[in-house]
Amino acid sequence: MADAVRLEALRRVYDETGSAVTALDGVTAGFGPGTFTAVMGPSGSGKSTLLQCAAGLDRPTSGRVFIDGTELTATREAVMTRFRRRRVGFVFQDFNLMPALTVEQNVLLPLRLAGRRADPARTREVLGTLGLTDRLGHRPAQLSGGQRQRVAIARALITDPAVIFADEPTGALDTHSARDVLDRLRAAVRDFGRTVVMVTHDPVAAAYADAVLFLADGRIAGRMDRPTADAVAQRLAHLADTPRLVAGAA
């Protein structure tokens, strides 16, 4: 079966100040449909840059990105934006909810932006799975951090995307809320068949994934299937102790 997300020889170089910084240095990787992968590495390893390029939020200097069989790197910006609205979901550390909108309005916002009508049955299914049916009229300020992140996950799921990209989704949460959010992301894979790619610095969070992809200095530094928190922590410690070869971006 084809990968839900495919990265081919991705290279991203920043040269805004006249001093080139290589954030990604020829990364090739695939993420299968219905899988949950954590992306980890030391500070400056390029993990957030990888997520942004894979999601179409940043264009690589060279290389190709495919999502659901469509090459994002070969499309115009307007076409890419429309594609993201239909086939890509996002979950961020700071939730990115609209404070003036209710839970229901925030969840349905991607459909409105894409000019699509909400399917009532689909909406009930997503909201019910995320435990939000009794919070539909609440605004973000009336919710806990964990509840806000569940709203963000529901918003990411509502368009039936091929992939959900999550950038440090538990970074702002307490331990109990973080575990709840990670359980919900696993449910997105298990119950909805989504592909989840999550950047995290937390070995405990990474242990919820099916596999961990490690980066160092903008390059693939290994992969671990069926990760445990202890094994991930040991691998990260080893990578942090390895002499750096090139400059990167977190």
Q: What is the DSSP letter of 243?
A: P
Q: Above pLDDT 90, what percent of the chain? A: 70
pLDDT at 182 over 70: yes
Alpha-carbon 124 to chain mean position: 24
* Model confidence pLDDT, tens digit, residues 1-48: 689 999 999 999 998 777 889 999 999 999 999 999 999 999 889 999
Secondary structure element (H or E) that encloses residue 8, with its range: strand 5-14
Within a domain: residue 246? no
Torsion of CA 146, 46, 55, 232, to 10 degrees: -50
> Distance between the two ends of the chain, CA-based, in angstroms?
31
Q: Rounded to two decimals, what is the model's pTM?
A: 0.90
Lowest-confidence region among 14-28, 134-148, 162-176: 14-28
Quote the pLDDT of residue 73.
86
Q: How far apart are CA 196 and CA 153, in angstroms?
A: 11
- Which backbone phi and psi does 146 adopt, to 5 degrees? -65, -40
156 within some domain = yes
Question: pLDDT category, 249, cuts 50, 70, 90?
Answer: very low
Domain count, the chain: 1
In a domain, 247, yes or no: no
- Give how far Cα 126 sits from Cα of 75, 132, 157, 192, Å: 30, 9, 7, 9
pLDDT band at 85 (very low <50, low <70, confident <90, very high): confident
| Domain coverage including residue 164 | 5-241
Confirm if 199 and 250 have CB atoms less than 8 A apart: no
Question: Is residue 244 scored above 70 in pLDDT?
Answer: no
Place of tokens 């961990």: 212
Q: How many residues does the chain have?
A: 250
Q: What's the pLDDT at 82? A: 86
Q: What pLDDT is attached to residue 247?
A: 40
For residue 14, being part of any structural domain is answered with yes
In a domain, 249, yes or no: no
Q: Which of 219, 222, 218, 246 is nearest to 236 (CA)?
A: 222
Burial of 87-100, coded b for 16+ CB within 10 Å and e otherwise, reads bbbbbbbebebeee
Is 44 part of a structural domain of the chain? yes
User: In 10 A of CB 73, how many CB atoms?
Assistant: 17
CATH of the domain at 169: 3.40.50.300
Distance CA 173, CA 180 (A): 10
Residue-by-residue DSSP string for 24-60: EEEEEEEE-TT-EEEEE-STTSSHHHHHHHHTTSS--
What percentage of the chain carries pLDDT values higher than 70? 96
Give the pLDDT mean for 42-55: 93
Work out the average pLDDT over 78-96. 89
**Average pLDDT over every residue of 162-172:** 93
Residue 231 lies in a domain: yes
* pLDDT tens digits along 184-243: 999 999 988 999 999 999 999 999 999 999 999 999 999 999 999 999 999 999 888 776
**77: pLDDT strictly greater than 90:** no
Whether residue 78 lies inside any domain: the answer is yes
- The β-bridge relationship of strands 21-31 and 211-216 is unpaired
